[in-house]
Amino acid sequence: MTKKNIIIVGYPKSGTTWLSRLVAELVSCPLIGDWGYENIDALYREGLERGSDYRVYKSHHSFDALEKVSSFKIDKIIYIIRDPRDVVISGLHYFSFLPKLLTKKEGLLISSILKKTSSRLVSRKEKKRQMIQAVLYGNDNLNLWLKLSWYNHYLPYQANKIHFVKYEDLIDDPKIESEKILTYLGISSNENHIKQSIVKQSFQKRKFNPSNNKQLDKLLREGVYGNWKKELTETEIALFKEELNEVTKYYPF
């Protein structure tokens, strides 16, 4: 029997890995890895022993690219959206940054090792500048997944009426959001299983049971929101308001 593929999509640093694991837990199916890279073992893949008609994949692809990167059929798409100001703060701790001088050199090829080393020399202020550039306007010099802005990434998914999950709502009331997800998928489940799934995939559980992989622990860092209020300057906050206040319904700027 052909497996049904559930794709969890989000802009980078929006909780895509967390939601992918939670959905796989709720559905009792395997989380295979990255959509379009099915033959590559992902750090966060799990539940491969689960027998199910479903499979979960994670993706950061644009809507237009999603169907082009894999030969498998897409059955359901779930999009997780996070306050872009918090995406900036989360990205500070994850991506490798180049000094400002090097970011201006077009066509410059830099090894991942050198990039990680040089990132230690980049000030927090400069890292924040590069992340804001990525989130508001796109910045593939920082990372290819950041080629599109936050707004231009989610808008086509919204236009095609994909099921959306707000990162903040998932933190505040994971049970309600889990029930909505299962309803959207057309899968029934009992309340006890939903509660157990939430506990197993909670950030609190992970903190007390860290993995042996530092990169995976870095991928799943805190599970909070609102840090932008402490980190962004008044000028930076005003920039988000100027660029996004009139165009998005998801967050007040």
Question: What are the phi and psi torsion angles at 133 (to 5°)?
Answer: -60, -45
Predicted confidence at residue 120, as pLDDT, reads: 66
Query: Region 143-160: what's the mean pLDDT?
Result: 96
List, for residues 93-102, the tens digit of each pLDDT value: 888 887 654 5
Same domain, 175 and 71: yes
Note whether 158 and 72 are same-domain residues. Answer: yes
Specify the number of domains making up the chain. 2
Q: What percentage of the chain carries pLDDT values higher than 70? A: 83
pLDDT grade, residue 44 (50/70/90)? confident
Token code pair at residue 126: 């400069």
249 assigned to some structural domain: no
The residues pairing with 84 across neighbouring beta strands, listed in sequence order, are none
Which residues does 151 contact at the CB level (< 8 Å), separation at least 6? 84, 136, 244, 247, 248
pLDDT at 103 over 60: no
**Same domain membership, residue 192 and residue 134:** no
164-195 pLDDT per residue, tens: 999 999 999 999 999 999 999 999 989 999 99
Stretch 46-51: mean pLDDT, rounded? 89
The one-letter amino acid code at 60 reads H
Residues 19 and 78 both lie in one domain: yes
- Flag the least confident range among 102-111, 151-160, 221-230: 102-111
In this predicted structure, what is the pLDDT of residue 207? 47
Per-residue pLDDT tens digits for 238-248: 999 999 988 88
- Residue 253 falls within a domain, yes or no? no
Residue with tokens 């993995």: 211
Q: Determine the Cα–Cα distance for residues 102 and 66; give it in Å rounded to an integer.
A: 31
pTM: 0.87
188 and 168 in a common domain: yes
- pLDDT at res. 106: 47
Dihedral angle of Cα 215, 217, 219, 223, to the nearest 10 degrees? -170
The verdict on 191 and 107 lying in the same domain is: no
> Do residues 185 and 227 both lie within one domain?
no
The CATH number of residue 14's host domain is 3.40.50.300
> Do 88 and 132 touch, CB atoms closer than 8 A?
yes
The dihedral through the CA atoms of 210, 130, 140, 134 has a sign that is: positive
- Shared domain check, 78 and 13: yes
Helices 191-200, 174-185: inter-axial angle, 10-degree rounding: 120
Determine the length of the chain. Answer: 253
Range of the domain at 38: 4-83+151-219
Distances, alpha carbon 9 to alpha carbons 63, 145, 158, 166, in Å: 9, 12, 12, 12
For residue 61, the one-letter residue type is: H
Q: Is the pLDDT of residue 10 over 90?
A: yes
Say yes or no: 12 and 77 in one domain: yes
DSSP labels, 16-30: HHHHHHHHHHHHT--
